[in-house]
Chains A and B, each alone.
Chain A
Amino acid sequence: SSELTQDPAVSVALGQTVRITCQGDILRSYYASWYQQKPGQAPVLVIYGQNDRPSGIPDRFSGSSSRNTASLTIAGAQAEDEADYYCNSRDSSGNHLLFGGGTKVTVL
């Protein structure tokens, strides 16, 4: 099925590392992209492709993938990284996109 599943919430201590996962069978065929969304703002692309960062995204953000799971890792989380994070990829048709339900990251 074309679904992407994310944990609803995760917390991380300031300066520590957190991994957010996105599961779905479609990820065996397509890469996931990752977005950061802060309250009242539009989403921002932070990772795309195998592990690429758009210009301006800190290198503490990285992506990886294994079988049906894509992961976003924030190494040395900062207070400003507190946000909702969404994964997305294509669906089984290849023509449509779909999003995971989002993960709320709290930096303690």
Chain B
Amino acid sequence: QVQLVQSGAEVKKPGASVKLSCKASGYTFSNSYIHWVRQAPGQGLEWMGVINPSDGSTTHTQKFQGRVAMANNTSTSTVYMELSSLRSEDTAIYYCARGYYEGLDFWGPGTLVTVSS
């Protein structure tokens, strides 16, 4: 069965960086894109970006230009997302999810990132 296991909660100070992981299992890792979506407290879903594990190519929304980096390790079927220059508005649950047509068919449980001085 498809599973996405995400790393544990993080607490960071403003200006710091955070690196999250998402380990996939139950399917051929290179065959499906992995997306990152975040949700601020009490807010809606916000798409951040996507990585193609087969070649490591990425794209992300302009909002995170210069602050987000995604990478993957095919030997461990793990995707990473690093967000830098953190500010309080980055406090959110960060989800990884598998791409399927225009949608996302399997989601990780989410990682809570808290940015606070």
* Pair A88/B59 contact, Cβ less than 8 Å: no
* Docked-complex contact B108 and A89, CB < 8 angstroms: no
* A76: Cβ under 8 A from any B Cβ: no
The chain A residue with its CB closest to the CB of B35 is A97
Q: Which of B102, B105, B106, B107 is the most central at the interface, judged by chain A CB atoms within 10 Å of its CB?
A: B102
Q: Per-position contact with A for B40-82: 1 when CB-CB < 8 Å, else 0?
A: 0000111100100000000111000000000000000000000
- Do the beta carbons of A96 and B61 come within 8 Å of each other? yes
C-alpha spacing A91/B105, complex, angstroms: 18
Main SS class of interface, B: strand
Do A42 and B95 have beta carbons less than 8 Å apart?
yes
Q: Which of A30, A32, A88, A98 contacts B104 (CB 8 A)?
A: A88
Contact of B46 (CB < 8 Å), options: A32, A90, A99: A99
Contacts of B103 in A (CB 8 A): 33, 35, 45, 48, 88
Contacts of B45 in A (CB 8 A): 35, 37, 43, 86, 88, 99, 102
Q: How many residues on the B side are at the interface (Cβ–Cβ under 8 A)?
A: 23
Interface pairs (29), CB distance under 8 Å: A33-B101, A33-B102, A33-B103, A33-B104, A35-B45, A35-B104, A37-B45, A42-B107, A42-B109, A42-B110, A43-B45, A43-B97, A43-B104, A44-B107, A45-B103, A45-B104, A45-B105, A45-B106, A48-B101, A48-B102, A86-B44, A88-B104, A96-B50, A96-B59, A96-B60, A96-B61, A97-B47, A97-B102, A99-B37
Top 5 closest pairs, chain A to chain B, by CB: A33-B103, A42-B107, A48-B103, A97-B47, A99-B45
Task: Give residues in A with beta carbon < 8 Å to B.
Answer: 30-33, 35, 37, 42-45, 48-49, 54, 86, 88-90, 95-102
